[in-house]
Amino acid sequence: MRAFAVGAIVTDIEGTTSSIAFVKDVLFPYARARLRDFVARSEVSAILDEVRDLQRDASLTPAQIVDLLERWMGEDRKIAPLKTLQGMIWADGYKSGELTGHIYPDAVTALRAWRAAGVPLYVYSSGSVEAQRLIFGYTTLGDLTPLFNGYFDTRIGSKLEPLSYQRIAAEIGLPPGSLLFLSDHDGEIAAAKHSGWQTQLVDRDGRHTDAVSTFDDISVEPAA
């Protein structure tokens, strides 16, 4: 059991609260299959322009942008317009009932207990804020979004950069040492730790000796 006294908790999603397989084998293929038709919608024109700006090529056609987005998806690139489009496609799927967010039951139990104890909860994921709200909002265990005080994505910075965690601490308004970050990624844990955060590596497969395999092994109480 790992014990922490915290002012707030920030959690990753993929591999931490949710199955990697759900993201890789369900969400990504769902978005890829619908991407080409989706970019034809007028409401995504600003996102296409964002891709053109990133590529510094105003002449890119929608078809060329889709080809680029599909390549980024295959490379699992953490690029904001791609994540925004994926979130919009997933929103349709969740609202239609085709998709249901996967959250580990132990994570739900712990998050509810920590919130009931007065600990503020936040999410920091490479998926867009909209995608984060969807995966927690449409679960088999109900709408979990009321548990969270806020969400952060890569628009605040890379999860592998210590500066991102400094920015999040400033946004939350608490000193880094009072914040606990939960993630399945060694590099993210290292970046948060470098910024003075408390950290806990989560390894659902039990391969790391310094990790926990379930939220049941994390004990949290509000800092004095």
> What domains appear along the chain, each with residue ranges and CATH number?
2-18+101-222 (3.40.50.1000), 23-96 (1.10.720.60)
- What's residue 147's pLDDT? 98
- What's residue 187's pLDDT? 97
Give CA–CA dist 34/61, Å, rounded.
18
**Res 127 pLDDT > 90:** no
Q: What is the pTM of this model?
A: 0.88
**Res 208 pLDDT > 90:** no
- What's residue 164's pLDDT? 98
**CA nearest neighbour of 213 among 201, 221, 224:** 201
Q: What is the mean pLDDT of the segment spanning 163-189?
A: 98
Give CA–CA dist 140/126, Å, rounded.
23
Split at pLDDT 50, 70, 90, the class of 27 is: very high
**Res 115 pLDDT > 80:** yes
Dihedral of CA atoms 161, 46, 96, 140 in degrees, nearest 10, equals 10
DSSP strand E in the chain: where?
2-6, 8-11, 121-124, 150-152, 179-183, 198-201, 218-222
**% of the chain with per-residue pLDDT over 90:** 80
Place of tokens 């709408």: 143
Q: What average pLDDT is seen over the chain?
A: 94
The answer to whether the CB of 128 falls within 8 A of the CB of 83 is: yes
pLDDT in tens, 38-92: 888 868 889 999 999 999 999 999 999 999 999 998 898 888 899 889 989 999 9
